[in-house]
Amino acid sequence: MVTIDLTSPAPAPQDTLDGLPRRLSLTLAELQLLAKRAGGAPLPFDVAAPVQASGLASRLGQTRLGAEDAAFQQASASSPDAEQSLRRRGLVSGSVNASVAGALGVLAAPDLAVDIDVSVAGDRARAWHRRSGDAVVSLATADGLVHELAWFGVDQWADELGRVLTLPTDHGTRPSGVPEQATLPFELLDAGSEAARSGRSDLLTAITARHLPGTRDADGAPLDSATASALVSALVTETQGRARLMVARASAPVTRVGVVSLVLLADGWRILAARRDGDQHLVDIRALQPSCLASQLAPVIAEVQA
């Protein structure tokens, strides 16, 4: 197992560039080779085994999963030779570059782990953030073929978390039917969303009437029936993406886990925070700017580490 010394304070940055996160773009083969050379450091994900073609494929045609797996294997096989590429870039020369080895060490044996899964308009990106003391390492990929490995100080973690939810500049926005802040009973959100997806406005109205006393606007006042129904419908019809963050205390004998869920609506992200009020299960809906993700994640981290 690779070890990294986090007991000594990091030297003060000599200039602006010295204080920025260090990033490496690596193919899957390069990443696996570096991990193997760095003492066999485990990666935070499993590489799926190739899907074996069945005897029916030749007669009935290739399945979607089989076609995707074949394309992945073909693209992976066409990547440059990992050994030569890493040596040319100075990342491997008898041993793994010390900084990269240290980053892989944090990735393999962290105190705290944050797994991030983002899906937007059919595209999916995954990121694994690992913290050990004052060091944070992130590994991210959008296609499973090319990965970004980055390492930085914990003081820069908030900015790196915000990058995960930042949308492309060409992603358009429009007014949303969901207010920036509201509260709904979980039963209304669950059953009402299914009714809205099924086009059963009559059923949605009945469900809303039953759970209306548990609704709240930004000022804490109950919503009227029309507003509550429109809110649930907008959550269904506007949703164009989702994000899920799972926080785990990796260094504890018994792992504690916390989850943060978000949906991408017409005008941006909303965080869905579940809580309990007496016997009632509620969901707080709040607008969230990507730059504020860290502040919303902080209470979950504190709870996991308690």
Mind listing the pLDDT tens digit for each residue in 15-73? 444 456 799 999 999 999 999 999 999 999 987 555 455 555 555 555 555 555 555 45
Tokens of 81: 């030779």
What pLDDT does 286 receive?
97
Tokens of 186: 């979980």
Half-sphere exposure of 53 (CA within 13 A, CB side): 11
What pLDDT does 251 receive?
74
Within 148-267, residue ranges assigned H as helices are: 157-165, 186-197, 201-211, 225-238
The beta strands (E) that lie in 44-96 are given as 92-93, 95-96
pLDDT digits (tens, 9 = 90+) for 159-211: 999 999 999 888 888 999 999 999 999 999 999 999 999 999 999 999 999 99
| pLDDT band, residue 150 (cuts 50/70/90) | very high
Distance CA 243, CA 119 (A): 6
Which are the contacts of 52, defined by CB distance < 8 A and separation ≥ 6?
Answer: none
pTM score of the predicted model = 0.83
What pLDDT does 78 receive?
60
Q: Exposed e or buried b for every residue in 127-140, given b needs 16+ CB within 10 A? A: bbbbbbeebbbbbb
